[in-house]
Amino acid sequence: MEKETVYRVKPDADAVVDDTAPPPEGVVPKKDFYAPLTPSVFGNASRSPRLPPLGGEKLPQSANDTRKSAGTVPIHPVDHTKHRRGSRHANLANDMTMAFTMDVLFNPVTIKLMVAYCHSIPFASDRLLFWADVQHLRTLPSAQYTDRMLQKIYHKFVSASAPTPICVPTNVLREIQKTCESSAGIQSAGVFAEAQALCLRDLKKDVFPRFRKHKLFQSMQAACETQASEKKPRSRFALLRETPSLPLFQYDSTYSFEAVMGDKWKLRYFKSYCIENMSSENLLFFLEVDECKRLPNQSFVQATARKIYDTYLKPGAKRYLNLSLRLHNEFAIPDDAAFEPSAFFDAQYLVLEYIRVELWPRFSISEPYIKYCQTEAVSPQPWDEYHPEISAERMETLMAELDAMSPSVLIQRALSIPVEAIANAPKPLAPNTLMLLLHDKLGHRAFKQFLSVKGNAHYVAFIDEVDEYEGLPGIEFMQHTAKKLYKKYLSESSKLQVDTSTKMRQEIEAKLSSPTIDMFKAVVARVKQGLLRDALRRYLKSSIYLELNLQALNPELAKELDEAVAQGKLEIPHLEIFLSDATFLANFKSYCKSQHCIENLLFWEEVEEFRRLPSNQIVLRCAKKIVEKYVNIETSKTPLDLPVHMHEFLTDNLEHVDRAYFHDAVAEVMDALRSIELPDFLDSPLFMVLVGSWVTMDQVYAVHHLHNDLESAYFRHRFHYICEAKKEKNRDDALG
């Protein structure tokens, strides 16, 4: 799930805020973690600090992207292959400013604007840079991750039971097996260096010469020439900046082995040829080992941690953070001691709290940030480039038909995709495989079915329920709408002021901070009486009322209204007749507009819209249901594996929920799905069943989705099924 943004009311004239009011009962005051800091001028009503997990989510690139992900701007209103998440009122994004969320710090543009804004604030820019450096440290792979990736290569290509073994000398295999099966694990891709060099030699001397004689090589040449003719002339500086995808290779000609291996576009054709000719194990082994070589080793991680300590936390450091003395004393570490990245997490939490409470309220209303939000363009999601022509009814029918199909039939349909079509399909620059699966209806269903086999379907169910929860207009939405109604119709300076008393105005003003759906009930009753005594009586005698031709539509009602007007006995039920019917209301409104008394009807309409908003009790009840179902260990049948501090925060603060209440829990679950469950799903047969489902719906749609991780997984499965088919054929030939 992409991360959504929460909105709150701007601190301007239409917001009645009492900064001096004491905190509500039951709210524990914040601890003074950073005594040297200046006190906040924006109050202390804050939540516990939140921090995203390791390997954070790819976040929107602009404020407009954030509003788009929240549903303010529909990505494609007729694409029934995608889930439509909870939406918001369009005007809300324009009338309100964003509350603090982590995407502000992950977006390079906004973090740069914030650092520039904080140059004049003591310690502020240094704390921002410290947070960014620690977050970068958290994204570096751990020793366990490196070992897991290299072990995966070992079991896939080198071990005795490898499904796609590579052909290397026995002594090389023994050295690799000795290292991989040791208790220390694999900590460097260098263990595969000799085998990788031998695979590269075989590719160059054996496979590539045969590829040059194949039709795929000719297709590659034609495609490259077409692409080159369509490109605009580039400067010499732009050409110098271009580097091959694999730094080992340098171009010596346009279509040499090195040129093909160094160009992602050409490499896809070579990979397709290897798949077709069942000789892809050497190429896949080389590429996966080369990818693992880019992982930083643990000495680099330690050096990065030491640099952070020397720059920000060591006494006399150049960018000393000036946090609490207790926290700095905890970092009195000898120069020869090893650093654990988790040692910085407490300091990062405090800095994040400082950014959210002290810096963000001022920065969010600064001119550079507002200008950036207004001018940044909306960019489409990578999976929305192609939309099949399919209706909602047809989509439901298709899903029922897929349930009745055999998995083997769907796998055969997946294998029928031409590899050349995949090679020529456009590829997004920064795809998000997990979000694609969660937004795609067929992908969502297949991924959830896979997780249910492992007993982890509640992960996706939790994300879905949080999506519905975040789609509910919460207390901040009601506050904004109530204040907007007050300023527009009830305040002493409003241009469309309705008839009300000073006492009513004061009572409503007192309820603006905690609105209820019936807070305007007394004013609405007074407005209806005014419409009944004046506007309705004159309206029923006007020419605009005659245009309604009520005598032809409902003679009995027309007669009753004429008698009531003649006798002066118009009552509220007569007014409700015109307020409850859209045609009658439009005619009545046109009369009021001509008489310059439209404000009463507009106020009544907007109050009715306000009354249809879910109350805060509904939001609170929904949040409690999610916590009891997925978080609370005592009540949940399948509790989520969340950090202790996050579990305590979600269970202990249910009286102060907001739209971003589950923000960090969703990020934690998404990280677990991305790092553990998604790779296993891509290696399972259910993935090919999903591809076959896409092909059944629309083959072009399937091709557009097979990129990056999905493309690699597809070719791995395709190669496996081809090998199995060949073995079965040889077995049949032997028996025959």
pLDDT band (50, 70, 90) for residue 530: confident
pLDDT surpassing 80 at residue 47: no
CATH number for 574? 1.10.167
Strand ranges (E), 672-721: none
Tally of residues, the chain? 736
Which carries the bigger pLDDT value, residue 73 or residue 139? Answer: 139
pLDDT band (50, 70, 90) for residue 249: very low
216 & 270 share domain: no
Domain range enclosing 605: 475-612
93 & 226 share domain: yes
Please say whether the beta carbons of 645 and 481 come within 8 A.
Answer: no
Helices of type H across 154-235: 170-180, 193-202, 208-212, 215-230
pLDDT band (50, 70, 90) for residue 497: confident
Domain assignment of residue 299, yes or no:
yes
pLDDT surpassing 80 at residue 56: no
457 & 481 share domain: no
Of 361, 359, 305, 314, nearest in space to 333 by CA:
314
Domain assignment of residue 56, yes or no:
no
Q: From CA 266, how far away is CA 278, in angstroms rounded?
A: 19
Of the three residues 376, 403, 437, the one that is the final residue of a domain is 376
303 & 339 share domain: yes
Mean pLDDT computed over 688-704: 89
What would the pLDDT profile of 615-638 be if each residue is shown by its tens digit?
667 777 888 888 888 888 888 888
Residue 512 is predicted with a pLDDT of 81
306 & 351 share domain: yes
Of 222, 254, 566, nearest in space to 423 by CA:
222
Residue 526 is predicted with a pLDDT of 86
Domain assignment of residue 22, yes or no:
no
Mean pLDDT computed over 175-192: 76
Backbone CA torsion sign across 428, 431, 434, 436: negative
Of 332, 253, 339, 330, nearest in space to 303 by CA:
339
Mean pLDDT computed over 311-322: 79
Residue 498 is predicted with a pLDDT of 81
What would the pLDDT profile of 443-461 be if each residue is shown by its tens digit?
899 999 999 988 888 888 8
pLDDT surpassing 60 at residue 64: no
Torsions phi, psi for 8 (to 5 deg): -140, 165
Percentage of the chain modeled with pLDDT above 90? 3
Domain assignment of residue 36, yes or no:
no
pLDDT surpassing 70 at residue 230: no
Mean pLDDT computed over 280-286: 86
123 & 225 share domain: yes
Instruction: Give me the half-sphere count of Cα atoms (radius 13 Å) on the Cβ side of residue 190.
Output: 4
Q: From CA 92, how far away is CA 7, in angstroms rounded?
A: 8
Mean pLDDT computed over 713-731: 87
Q: From CA 716, how far away is CA 688, in angstroms rounded?
A: 10
Which carries the bigger pLDDT value, residue 48 or residue 133? Answer: 133
Torsions phi, psi for 98 (to 5 deg): -75, 135
Q: From CA 176, how far away is CA 194, in angstroms rounded?
A: 10
User: What is the DSSP track for 355-391?
Assistant: IIIIIHHHHTTSHHHHHHHHHPPP---GGGS------
Domain assignment of residue 422, yes or no:
yes
What would the pLDDT profile of 320-338 be if each residue is shown by its tens digit?
877 766 666 666 555 555 6
Neighbours of 204 (CB within 10 A): 14
Mean pLDDT computed over 524-535: 83
Residue 248 is predicted with a pLDDT of 44
Angle of CA points 334, 339, 344, to nearest 5°: 110
Mean pLDDT computed over 526-533: 83
- Give residue for tokens 């029918």: 397
110 & 221 share domain: yes
Mean pLDDT computed over 584-589: 86
Q: From CA 541, how far away is CA 555, in angstroms rounded?
A: 16
Classify residue 120 by its DSSP letter.
Answer: G
450 & 524 share domain: no
Residue 693 is predicted with a pLDDT of 92
What would the pLDDT profile of 266-277 be if each residue is shown by its tens digit?
888 888 888 888
Helix (H, G, I), strand (E, B) or coil at 61: coil
Stretch (H or E) spanning 35: none
Q: Which residues contact 580 (CB under 8 A, 6 or more apart)?
A: none
Mean pLDDT computed over 275-292: 85
Classify residue 7 by its DSSP letter.
Answer: E
Mean pLDDT of all residues belonging to the chain: 75
What would the pLDDT profile of 539-575 be if each residue is shown by its tens digit?
888 888 888 888 888 888 888 888 888 888 888 888 8
Structure tokens at 126: 């240094």
Neighbours of 350 (CB within 10 A): 21
602 & 633 share domain: no
187 & 296 share domain: no
What would the pLDDT profile of 122-171 be if each residue is shown by its tens digit?
888 888 888 888 888 877 776 667 777 888 888 888 887 888 888 888 88
Most confident range (mean pLDDT) of 86-95, 514-523, 543-552 is 543-552
Domain assignment of residue 388, yes or no:
no
Lowest mean pLDDT among 98-112, 468-482, 681-695: 468-482
Residue 585 is predicted with a pLDDT of 86
Q: From CA 52, how far away is CA 391, in angstroms rounded?
A: 38
Stretch (H or E) spanning 671: helix 663-672
366 & 422 share domain: no
Which carries the bigger pLDDT value, residue 427 or residue 116? Answer: 116
pLDDT band (50, 70, 90) for residue 613: low
604 & 687 share domain: no
Please say whether the beta carbons of 27 and 652 come within 8 A.
Answer: no
Hey, what amino acid is at 26?
G
What would the pLDDT profile of 119-136 be if each residue is shown by its tens digit?
888 888 888 888 888 888
Domain assignment of residue 468, yes or no:
yes
Residue 87 is predicted with a pLDDT of 31
Residue 601 is predicted with a pLDDT of 82
pLDDT surpassing 80 at residue 731: yes
Mean pLDDT computed over 54-62: 33
Neighbours of 519 (CB within 10 A): 21
Number of domains present in the structure of the chain = 4
Residue 727 is predicted with a pLDDT of 86
Classify residue 233 by its DSSP letter.
Answer: P
Torsions phi, psi for 42 (to 5 deg): -110, 15
CATH number for 661? 1.10.167.10
Query: Residues 494-501: contacts with CB within 8 Å, 24+ apart?
Result: 496/599, 496/602, 496/603, 497/599, 498/523, 498/527, 498/530, 498/599, 498/600, 498/603, 499/526, 499/527, 499/530, 499/600, 500/526, 501/526
Torsions phi, psi for 7 (to 5 deg): -115, 150
Which carries the bigger pLDDT value, residue 252 or residue 343? Answer: 343
Domain assignment of residue 71, yes or no:
no
Please say whether the beta carbons of 101 and 663 come within 8 A.
Answer: yes
